[in-house]
Chains A and B, each alone.
Chain A
Amino acid sequence: MNASASSITPANRSWQRFKANRKALFGLGVLILFLLAAVGAAQLAPYDQLAMGASFHPPSAVHLLGTDSLGEDIFTNILYGARTSLIVGFCAVITSTILGTLVGATAGYFGGAPDTVLMRVTEMFQILPQFFLAIVIVALFGSSIWNVILVIGVLTWPVTARLLRAEFLTLRNREFVDAARSLGMSDFDIITREILPNALPPIIVNCTLQISSAILLETSLSFLGLGDPNVMSWGTMLHNAQDFFSRAWWMAAFPGLALFLATLSLNLVGDGLNDALNPKNI
């Protein structure tokens, strides 16, 4: 090993462990394909998003995955659906992670009364029946994609908050935190510079898994016809496929397969990250 200037960073060691995990690499590969599809949907799609051709065209060289009841190309819709799913997944998880981090870090670091109050609030959110609340809010405030993101974000932060609080409870009494305190570091700096970087691994893993459940939740809402009507979603495609299942199996099969692969890849990456970032769990 090179003992001079170059040093093995903790991130570097984690990447070495992640690389050794085949399932995780497969997941990462699939995930990258979906990301490319989402980013380059407009360039990759063989047809215009609104172009209509022959209805119920089965998969062929002309329409790779067939067409739906309106004659829209399924492959094109899946590419645009990937964009919606990933936007919803990432944005909802960013929202919930910010909320959960704020609450969890404050509760775990300060303890005492702030902890009690914040954890009771967290529990109140946890006991809400998430899916039905999501339906109610989307039905009341409209089903724009940003509403969906906000609803999912606001409903899923308690998990992050609890995880982070637990991490903070163990880390705040570690000696390196005491050392920082005795150097005179402010509470805010101790939280952000000393504790948070060490509390991140389980949060990162949790984020990955939450993205897949956010995608599933968005798909479920669209499947019930509560998705944003202005954007294409795999849930909407499945919703449309219901009536034609015996006539055009490809209408349901391919969006379903895309959903399956997306959530599977996220879960594989999450498991891989878990093993790579917390090697003691292996």
Chain B
Amino acid sequence: MTHEPLLQVHGLSKHYGDRSLFGRRSLPVRAVDGVDLEVRSGETFGLVGESGCGKSTLGRCIARLEDPTAGRILFEGTDIAALPKAQLRQLRRNVQVVFQDPYASLNPRKTVGSILSEAFRIHGLHPRAQWQARVGELLETVGLQADHASRYPHEFSGGQRQRICIARALSLRPKLIIADEPVSALDVSVQAQVLNLMMSLQRSFGLSYLFISHDLRVVRHITQRLAIMYLGRIVETGETRKIYQAPLHPYSKSLLSAVPQIDRRRNDGRMILRGELPSPSNPPSGCTFHPRCPRRGPECDTRVPVLREMAPGRRVACHYPLDPAVAPPPTKNNLEKTP
């Protein structure tokens, strides 16, 4: 595995509803607010957060299905954030998306063969006479049969459909696949099969994944590094193993402790969050997590914490991270049980 950055995202923002009719300015929804991240080639990078935290919007911006409001997206060093739509062809060949709902992501009026050969047609990849053979190869790569090409999507199960979606993403031989909750809509038994397929494809094609999910067990299984998002911002990022061992951000800790554990003793340190996810159009002042944070200190509602490096490759956006080296804040709100 190499470690050159394949994708670098700097200060990416996506705000919705900035302008309204008649010039009245409504409060913009800050779906993504100044996100930095880096995906290295050959790795699986996880993007984790609650529903509505902006993780899907971030993925869609990187795939340029949405136009980012601000920020830079460097793919192999080229800024693709501001490229006009017409110049996105090269990006399309390098970055592909697998969506959450395999039932909605295949055109019901087209055969699997025509869905999978669409990329060849658009990019003029192979002579038309070879398309059928190429489609057959793609189907076999994802564990289906070549003669499935003549069937329609409704003839397949959810897991099979997601395999077809993966085959479609592979048809352009991309370097990066943005997988937006690719297994959340599937049965647990099928989830494992699809994840194993994705991991074996990663090995054979040297793929990188940006794996967007809210399922922490899946993320732990498949990713090497991850970023945890809260209300459009990244609150913690680092190696998956280390974050799971010792989360630094109180939000990460509460997310991880929400995962059911079979070993009962490890449930002791559970941290249950109060309240709801605030509205991204009117986020709380200072650290957006402060109204729900058990460790909040005096400056949390005024000063926005920036991502700072705590250890090599380990960054956290918190004034009082869960680190023995940093003293807990002087406050009565300290509900955190010390492990």
Contacts and interface: CB of A to CB of B under 8 A. Distances in A.
A and B: bona fide binding partners: yes
Contacts of A183: 92, 96, 118-119, 122, 168, 171-172
A10 B97 contact: no
A30 interface: no
Contacts of B97: 178-179, 182
Interface residues of B, number: 35
Interface string A22-57: 000000000000000000000000000000000000
A174 interface: yes
Contacts of B106: 176, 179
Contacts of A7: 111, 150-152, 155
B143 interface: no
Contacts of B105: 174-176, 178-179
B50 to A, nearest CB: 21
A184 B150 contact: no
Contacts of B93: 184
Contacts of B60: 178
A178 B99 contact: yes
Interface in A164-223: 174-176, 178-186, 189, 193-194, 197-198
B174 to A, nearest CB: 10
Interface in A1-17: 4-5, 7-10
Contacts of B327: none
A186 B123 CA distance: 11
A182 B106 CA distance: 13
B101 interface: yes
Contacts of B101: 175
A184 B88 contact: yes
Contact of B152 (A8, A175, A186): A8
Interface string B133-159: 000000000000001001110110000
Nearest to A198: B109
Given A182-B63, A184-B93, A194 B107 contact: yes
Given A175-B101, A175-B104, A182 B152 contact: no
Contact of B122 (A175, A185, A198): A185
Nearest to B66: A178
Given A176-B107, A182-B96, A184-B92, A5 B147 contact: yes
A194 B168 CA distance: 15
Nearest to B153: A176
Nearest to B150: A7
Contacts of B99: 175, 178-179
A182 B118 CA distance: 11
Contacts of B171: 183
B155 A182 contact: no
Contacts of B147: 4-5
Nearest to A196: B109
B124 to A, nearest CB: 11
B264 interface: no
Contacts of A178: 60, 65, 97, 99, 105
A180 B168 CA distance: 10
B332 interface: no
A186 B152 CA distance: 23
Nearest to A187: B85
A249 B298 CA distance: 96
B337 interface: no
A184 B89 contact: yes
B119 A10 contact: no
Contacts of B53: none
Nearest to A11: B109
B65 A180 contact: no
B270 to A, nearest CB: 35
Interface of B: 60, 63, 65, 88-89, 92-93, 95-97, 99-101, 104-111, 118-119, 122-123, 147, 150-152, 154-155, 165, 168, 171-172
Given A10-B152, A198-B108, 11 more contacts: A10-B109, A174-B104, A176-B104, A178-B97, A179-B105, A182-B95, A183-B122, A183-B172, A184-B122, A197-B107, A197-B109
Interface of A: 4-5, 7-10, 174-176, 178-186, 189, 193-194, 197-198
Listed from nearest, the 4 A-B pairs whose CB atoms lie closest are A184-B92, A175-B105, A197-B109, A175-B99
29 contacts: A5-B147, A7-B152, A7-B155, A9-B152, A174-B104, A175-B104, A176-B105, A176-B106, A176-B107, A178-B60, A178-B97, A178-B105, A179-B97, A179-B105, A180-B118, A181-B65, A182-B63, A182-B96, A182-B97, A183-B118, A183-B119, A184-B92, A184-B119, A184-B122, A184-B123, A185-B118, A185-B122, A189-B122, A197-B109
